[in-house]
Amino acid sequence: MKITAVLLAAGQGTRMKSTLPKVLHPVAGKPMIWHALHAVAQATTEMPVVVVGHGSDEVKAYLGESAQTVLQEPQLGTGHAVMQAESLLKDKTDLVIVCYADMPLLRGETLKKLVQTQQHNQGPISMLTVIADDPRGFGRILRKDDGTVEAIVEEYVATPEQAKIKELNVGGYCFNASWLWDALKRIPKNPKKGEYYLTDIVELASKDGLSVHATVMEDIEETIGVNTRIHLSEVEAAMRRRINQTHMLNGVTMIDPVSTYIEADVHIGRDTVILPNTYIFGKTEIGEGNEIGPNTMISDTKIGNGCKIIASSLEGAILENDVDMGPFARLRKGAHLGNHVHMGNFGEVKDSYLADGVKMGHFSYIGNAQIGSNTNIGAGTITANYDGEKKHPTTIGEDVFIGSDTMLVAPITLGAGARTGAGSIVTKDVAEDTLVVGMPARAIRKIERKPKKK
């Protein structure tokens, strides 16, 4: 059986007060629509269709090859939006799931249940509802005596009696495709707003004597639709709770989940402990038995097993096993620390490989460097890698001892077993097992000043 999702994403999202299309606002680091696509993928067999309108270029650019798109122009309501998908889907699918792209908490599991409900329904529609005390502006569900759905009444036309109904329309539907396309054309134009409401299709079916089934959802949180940035923050908090709980159930300890921020794509292995106020972003993969935080920020980084990272910032880095970092260490893009590397306070590493057992305890900057195993980088060592125009490499062999406050003026190579005295300024390559010291600053040439930028 072919099942295809249509995601509605053409609305303006006026209440977000943003230049960014609503469905591209991030939740747990991913655009809202990423979450919606992720959920529908679990319940469908075909590539989804996204109905775009406002900000369509940006939305299409984000979607790329992940979905087919169809333009709704002008936007004449949710029923009109689904109609636009007919050209792509007629005779190509058995069931059509329709949901709104601004509901990032809706789970794939829930949509799977919706599909199952429809597979057991003789009639053409199954839908998701929820029972809630706070109606949040949702449509109210009218049921017939036999328990099937008779109609959805939008809040602004509901009578006071209807407004009291606690069963609400979530905005997730599963239709028999063979029935859907013609029925959409019969939706009447709403006299007040001039729009075609998808919700009116329910009454059409019911008047034809066809049964509309409803699955009542248990988790109200899943039904939060984002219309304002306040809703966005509610969704963010709920998503964060959900992500953290998944990690904890998978064997990760979180001392304080409320102050732990982990984005949707992050992987964390068992027995890793995350301490408070830690942020883990992007495509980060963390192995087992690590201790991370407090006060740590990690993005797009790969961490092995058994590492200890305190109050540090890591971005685009790789750590092998048993690395010991921080407090106040910073890894920038391309930093690669081998096994048992120790990096203490106020160090920065960028585009460099520190082989197994390297120690840099305090106040050093290492950029564009390759450092051999078991080398010791003394306090305050700097690789002077930038001459104002170009970056230059530094290569240091194994078992080197760099004395405190050494300046390594790149390009430069130090052979294995070399040593530098405290305060050395090293401008020439150092041979293996050789000690260099000294070199006070002295004038060597005139430099041309660059004209000041305005």
Question: Of the residues 38, 231, 362, 392, which is catalytic?
Answer: 362
Contacts of 116 (CB under 8 A, 6+ apart): none
Instruction: By CB under 5 A, tell whether 417 contacts Mg ion.
Output: no
Residue with tokens 């963010």: 236
Contact call for residues 153 and 170 (beta carbons, < 8 A): no
E strands present in 188-338: 212-217, 253-254, 260-262, 267-268, 273-274, 278-281, 285-286, 291-292, 296-299, 302-303, 308-309, 313-315, 318-319, 324-325, 330-331, 335-337
Binding segment toward Mg ion, per CB under 5 A, in 222-230, 233-241, 329-337, 408-416: 222-230
What is the dihedral sign for C-alpha 16, 21, 22, 25?
Answer: negative
Report in angstroms how near the CB of residue 227 gets to ligand UD1 at its nearest: 6
Nearer to ligand UD1, 196 or 261 (CB): 196
Nearer to ligand UD1, 143 or 391 (CB): 143
Q: Please tell me whether residue 114 adopts helix, strand or coil conformation.
A: helix
Nearer to ligand UD1, 198 or 408 (CB): 198
Report in angstroms how near the CB of residue 227 gets to Mg ion at its nearest: 5
Local structure of residue 263 (DSSP, 8 states) = -
E strands present in 239-341: 253-254, 260-262, 267-268, 273-274, 278-281, 285-286, 291-292, 296-299, 302-303, 308-309, 313-315, 318-319, 324-325, 330-331, 335-337
Instruction: By CB under 5 A, tell whether 139 contacts Mg ion.
Output: no
Instruction: By CB under 5 A, tell whether 225 contacts Mg ion.
Output: yes
Partner in contact with 311, chosen from ligand UD1, Mg ion, none, beta carbon below 5 to 8 Å by kind = none
Q: Please tell me whether residue 377 adopts helix, strand or coil conformation.
A: strand
Instruction: By CB under 5 A, tell whether 53 contacts Mg ion.
Output: no
Largest CA distance in the chain: 97
In the chain, the N- to C-terminal Cα span, in Å, equals: 65
Binding segment toward Mg ion, per CB under 5 A, in 220-228, 234-242, 287-295, 369-377: 220-228
Instruction: By CB under 5 A, tell whether 304 contacts Mg ion.
Output: no
Nearer to ligand UD1, 67 or 377 (CB): 67
Partner in contact with 269, chosen from ligand UD1, Mg ion, none, beta carbon below 5 to 8 Å by kind = none
In the residue annotation, 362 being an active-site residue is answered as: yes
Partner in contact with 197, chosen from ligand UD1, Mg ion, none, beta carbon below 5 to 8 Å by kind = ligand UD1
Scored b (16 or more CB within 10 A) or e, 304-313 reads bbbbebbbbb
Interface with ligand UD1 by CB under 6 A: which residues?
8-11, 51, 53, 72, 75-78, 80-81, 100-102, 138-139, 152, 154, 168-169, 171, 197-199, 225
Phi-psi map region of 409: left, alpha, beta (phi>0 left; psi -120 to 50 alpha)? beta
Nearer to ligand UD1, 162 or 374 (CB): 162
Nearer to Mg ion, 54 or 330 (CB): 54
Partner in contact with 198, chosen from ligand UD1, Mg ion, none, beta carbon below 5 to 8 Å by kind = ligand UD1
Site string for Mg ion, 103-122 (x = CB under 5 A): --------------------
Report in angstroms how near the CB of residue 170 gets to Mg ion at its nearest: 11
Distance CA 233, CA 241 (A): 12
Q: What residues act catalytically?
A: 362
Which residues are near Mg ion by CB under 5 A? 225
